[in-house]
Amino acid sequence: MNHPVVVALLPVVLFILTGYVAGRRRWIGGGAVRDLSNLVFMLLLPALLFRTMSAVHLEQLDFKPIAMYFGAAGLVYALVIAVKGYNPTGAVLALAGTFSNTGMIGIPLIGLAYGQPGMVTLFTLISLHSLVLLTAGNIVLELAAQREDARRGVASTQSVWVTVGGALRKGIIHPIPLPILAGLLFGSTGLSIPPLLDQPLQLLGNAMGPIALVLVGVTLAYGSVGSHLKGALMMAGVKNVLHPATVLALGWLLGLSGVPLAVMVVTAGLPIGANVYLFSQRYGVAEELTTASVAVTTVMGLVTLPLAMLLVRGLI
């Protein structure tokens, strides 16, 4: 029970299980899920991100692992598009295969497993994660939709540049990148957060992990896989296995090692992030399959994440 992987993963599993039981017994109603999600993403997570990054200086950040991560994500994204086709459904599934749940599961897990160095690496990735992947997903989906409209003889209502600009704006004005950038800017001034503000921020940040993981369990309790099990299992193969394997292979080829590579591999193996579900809802594309895939990748992650952590333990 004292194995480092068990020590890091056991609290994560217990919190998710607690949330699942609470959801199944209806201690937390289905209508409260969105409110709890807003609490995490709009208050607790920004406090944690800002406080952590305010103690980091730009010259300490290493962007080589981040560039490698996005390179690997691009390879997986292109493969899913090649298999599923250049169409709106293919665009949503490609995003699902590469967009990790870095907030609710990634931050608590990486914090427990790799401490402050791992958190800094993860937050550096998170600062660009939504901006890069959601922007690319928006652009590819919009262009794929315009292509299908053109085939049907329907004129497009907006230009490619309007699509790109709107996607970039949504990627930047987001509750995750903003507090990271604000924290880095504050840290660059050489100032420290006054104790009167630092303690409340610390308390809010400490609450983020447990509440987020309980919320994952509650969401699973209310989720339904239905007739999409086969498709969801295929997406789990992409997200839980292919994505981290690609990151590990590319990182090894580029000579990366240590905590940065371990964090990138484990992050790639995380379940599909909730933003993909919101993305599919917004466009009305593959909604049921995406919902099922989020649930299946989360459950499968309880098996694949320990394996990934054991595999990369030799890198540290």
**Domain count within the chain:** 1
Answer whether residue 314 is part of any domain: no
Q: How many CB atoms lie within 10 A of CB 303?
A: 9
Provide the pLDDT for residue 163. 66
Provide the pLDDT for residue 209. 86
What is the pTM for the complete model shown?
A: 0.82
Q: What is the mean pLDDT of residues 60-83?
A: 95
- Which domain does 101 fall in, by range? 4-309
Answer whether residue 135 is part of any domain: yes
Q: How far apart are CA 144 and CA 209, in angstroms?
A: 37
Answer whether residue 315 is part of any domain: no
Provide the pLDDT for residue 78. 97
Match 């497009």 to its residue by tokens. 156
Answer whether residue 128 is part of any domain: yes
Answer whether residue 106 is part of any domain: yes
Provide the pLDDT for residue 247. 98
Q: How far apart are CA 106 and CA 34, in angstroms?
A: 20
Provide the pLDDT for residue 94. 97
Q: What is the mean pLDDT of residues 257-268?
A: 96
Rounded to the nearest integer, the mean pLDDT of the chain is 87
Answer whether residue 92 is part of any domain: yes
In which band, very low, low, confident or very high, does the pLDDT at 84 lie, cut at 50, 70 and 90?
A: very high
Provide the pLDDT for residue 263. 97
Give 2-28 pLDDT, tens digit per residue.
666 677 778 888 888 999 999 999 999
Give 126-173 pLDDT, tens digit per residue.
888 887 898 788 888 888 888 776 777 665 666 667 766 766 676 666
Q: Backbone dihedral region of 286: left (phi > 0), alpha (psi from -120 to 50 degrees) or beta?
A: left
pLDDT at 281 over 90: no
In which band, very low, low, confident or very high, does the pLDDT at 269 lie, cut at 50, 70 and 90?
A: very high
Q: What is the CATH number of the domain that holds 238?
A: 1.20.1530.20
Answer whether residue 316 is part of any domain: no
Provide the pLDDT for residue 167. 64
Provide the pLDDT for residue 36. 86
Provide the pLDDT for residue 272. 93
Q: How far apart are CA 271 and CA 265, in angstroms?
A: 13
Q: What is the mean pLDDT of residues 34-53?
A: 87
Q: Is 290 exposed, middle or buried (0-12, 13-18, 19+ CB in 10 A)?
A: buried
CB 96 within 8 A of CB 235: yes
Answer whether residue 76 is part of any domain: yes
